[in-house]
Amino acid sequence: MANLIVLGAQWGDEGKGKIVDLFSERFDMVVRYQGGHNAGHTVYIGETKFVLKLIPSGILRPGVKAVIGNGVVIDPGALMTEIESLEKAGIDVRSQLVISNRAHVIFPFHRMVEKVSESREDRVAIGTTARGIGPCYEDKIGRRGIRMADLVSPQGFEHLYRMLAEDKMTLATAFKVSEVIDFNAILAQYRQFTEKLRPLVRDTSSYVNAAIKAGQNVLFEGAQGTMLDIDHGTYPFVTSSNASAGGACTGAGVAPTRINGIIGVSKAYITRVGAGPFPSEIPGEAGDRIRKAGNEFGSVTGRPRRCGWFDVPLLRYTADINGFDSMIITKLDVLDDLEEIPVCVGYEVDGKAVTDMPATNEEVARIVPIYEVLPGWKTPTKGITSLDQIPTKAMDYLRFLESKTGVEVGCVSNGPERNETIIVPGSKLATLLG
Ligand code: GDP
Ligand code: IMO
Ligand code: MG
């Protein structure tokens, strides 16, 4: 067994939650390392559906420790709601969950700042989840943020809070924000959250490192996807954290030398929520059909997800950034009915082949995707439990993705349930999972 990072290889919603839940049976600890409640990780256990936002999907396995790392931004109200709903479902959250004292805290005025930024006439809106994620990370990088350690500190919090609130009041006045923000009410409310959260807050880097030293197995769960990474994604149409593998080390306080494997989760096609360029996007009715077959609606905001064909250059790019040992192809079943399946195998801009992912959105928007069209298998893959039952043409499709991306397919998911997953025998992933 090993310490693994499981993260999104595309623009998010690849099915990370399902995979992390499934794998966490084999791990002692699952750690979230970035993002906040902008994430929506869906897990089905029989008929019961869970959508995890801040809490690692490992919480659904009794006894598995769930860690919210220092790289995560926490809205205490959203966290309390999530804890309560899991407790209602019979999960012993308080014995499993640990929260970093270095994670930054989201306040309602972060949402106000985001609204201002998203609605400025002279700017293109990012199409964010409106959860205050970006502005909270801005305060973190601006070195004026408030961390969980401050929130639970009996003395320090009020002073820090009033300083930050003052900044936001100045901003609210400058931008003529009509919404009334009751800073004293927020303070009182956050004090209530503090009482409930304090017992869970600690130094999680030392906690995770101690577990690793004791020979325990740790799974690091990414939120969002590499193309939404603040450094490597389609900036500025990205989220405000490092969703890629490097983020796992900084966002959990664990050294790269402790990581044994990095696994990319990718759909058999691709989706994106929010604005920004999307080379292999499927226009019109064909896109609508995939959206319907894959039920592609945001798990946090309910927005329809834009759908596209599998993008090989994009996957090669995210494989380089993350150093994938293996990839997991999810939602293969969604393509079951298609006559033909185009795959984007190359990019051209102005008639010239492009090998590096362009840095500007203007260039990404001008990409002309080069497609190869593969035959569909037109046979249900749902219910299949072993690789040899996969229809030949579906297997050809998977082998095609493998050969074009240069990354092994270590696991195939053919439905949302735990048992609708096939780990490829003899793959590097199978070895890493032990
Ligand atoms: P995440 O953000 O990466 O965890 O992904 P989401 O949970 O936001 O979105 C993935 C959606 O696809 C969820 O509704 C899952 O239940 C569903 N899902 C995951 N794997 C499969 C699969 O192999 N087939 C089908 N049909 N649905 C899947
Ligand atoms: P999971 O973990 C898909 C997108 C938003 C928007 C951009 C910035 O479920 O894969 P933000 O609120 O983060 O500042 O929004 O990022 N986005 C996601 N898209 N899945 C997610 O998470 C996302 N989290 C953020 O739609 O385009
Ligand atoms: Mg999601």
Q: How confident is the model at residue 13 (pLDDT cuts 50, 70, 90)?
A: very high
- pLDDT digits 0-9 by tens, 286-329: 999 999 999 999 888 889 999 999 999 999 999 999 999 999 99
Q: How confident is the model at residue 193 (pLDDT cuts 50, 70, 90)?
A: very high
**Which residues, listed in sequence order, are joined to residue 12 by a DSSP beta bridge?**
none
Instruction: Tell me what the pLDDT averaged over the chain comes to.
Output: 96
Q: Is residue 7 within 6 Å of ligand 2 at its C-beta?
A: no
Q: What is the CATH number of the domain that holds 424?
A: 3.90.170.10
- Residue owning the nearest CA to atom 13 of ligand 2: 239
- pLDDT digits 0-9 by tens, 200-222: 999 999 999 999 999 999 999 99
Distance of CA 11 from the midpoint of ligand 3 (Å): 10
Domain extent for 214? 4-100+202-261
- Residue owning the nearest CA to atom 15 of ligand 2: 128
What is the per-residue pLDDT for 66? 98
pLDDT of 41 strictly over 80: yes
Distance of CA 14 from the midpoint of ligand 1 (Å): 6
Are residues 15 and 50 both part of a single domain? Answer: yes
pTM of the model: 0.97
CA distance 369 to 388: 32
pLDDT of 124 strictly over 90: no
pLDDT of 224 strictly over 80: yes
The ligand 1 atom at the shortest distance from the C-alpha of residue 330 is 23
Residues within a 6 A CB radius of ligand 1: 8, 12-18, 40-42, 44, 299, 330-331, 333-334, 413-416
The set of catalytic residues is 13, 41
Total of domains in the chain: 3
Q: How confident is the model at residue 181 (pLDDT cuts 50, 70, 90)?
A: confident
Would you give the end-to-end CA distance of the chain in angstroms? Answer: 5
Surrounding residues of ion ligand 3, Cβ less than 5 A:
13, 40, 299
Choice between 300 and 4, residue whose per-residue pLDDT is larger: 4
Are residues 119 and 25 both part of a single domain? Answer: no
- Residue owning the nearest CA to atom 5 of ligand 2: 128
Are residues 332 and 389 both part of a single domain? Answer: yes
The ligand 1 atom at the shortest distance from the C-alpha of residue 18 is 19
Distances (CA, A) of 214 to 23, 62, 70, 218: 20, 20, 21, 11
Are residues 391 and 278 both part of a single domain? Answer: yes
Q: Which two tokens stand for residue 434?
A: 């032990």
Of all ligands present, the nearest one to the C-alpha of 296 is 1
Distance of CA 168 from the midpoint of ligand 1 (Å): 37
pLDDT of 1 strictly over 80: no
- Work out the average pLDDT over 67-93: 97
Are residues 298 and 360 both part of a single domain? Answer: yes
Distance of CA 39 from the midpoint of ligand 2 (Å): 6
Are residues 273 and 386 both part of a single domain? Answer: yes
- pLDDT digits 0-9 by tens, 94-106: 999 999 999 999 9
SS3 of residue 317 by DSSP? helix
Are residues 372 and 225 both part of a single domain? Answer: no
Domain boundary residue, one of 197, 217, 248? 197
Are residues 129 and 277 both part of a single domain? Answer: no
- Work out the average pLDDT over 139-151: 97
Are residues 164 and 298 both part of a single domain? Answer: no
pLDDT of 178 strictly over 80: yes
Distance of CA 39 from the midpoint of ligand 1 (Å): 13
pLDDT of 14 strictly over 70: yes
- Residue owning the nearest CA to atom 17 of ligand 1: 416
Q: How confident is the model at residue 114 (pLDDT cuts 50, 70, 90)?
A: very high
- Work out the average pLDDT over 257-278: 97
- pLDDT digits 0-9 by tens, 330-347: 999 999 999 999 999 999
Angle of CA points 327, 329, 335, to nearest 5°: 160
Domain boundary residue, one of 178, 197, 216? 197
The percent of residues in the chain predicted with pLDDT above 90, rounded, is 93
Q: Which residues contact 158 (CB under 8 A, 6 or more apart)?
A: 187
- Work out the average pLDDT over 12-21: 98
**Any idea of the CA torsion for 96, 99, 100, 103, to the nearest 10 degrees?**
150
Are residues 286 and 394 both part of a single domain? Answer: yes
What is the per-residue pLDDT for 162? 94
The ligand 1 atom at the shortest distance from the C-alpha of residue 14 is 3
Q: What is the CATH number of the domain that holds 73?
A: 3.40.440.10
Answer whether the bond into residue 236 is a cis peptide, omega within 30°: yes
Q: Which residues contact 65 (CB under 8 A, 6 or more apart)?
A: 28, 29, 30, 58, 96, 97, 98, 211
Q: How confident is the model at residue 20 (pLDDT cuts 50, 70, 90)?
A: very high
Are residues 322 and 368 both part of a single domain? Answer: yes
- Work out the average pLDDT over 243-248: 98
pLDDT of 229 strictly over 70: yes
Are residues 284 and 378 both part of a single domain? Answer: yes
Computed on alpha carbons and rounded to an integer, the radius of gyration of the chain in Å comes to 22
Q: Which of 14, 228, 301 to mutate to test the pocket of ligand 2 (most atoms within 8 A of CB)?
A: 228
Domain boundary residue, one of 261, 279, 300? 261
Lowest mean pLDDT among 20-24, 60-64, 175-179, 269-273: 175-179
Q: What is the CATH number of the domain that holds 141?
A: 1.10.300.10
Burial of 343 (0-12, 13-18, 19+ CB in 10 A): buried
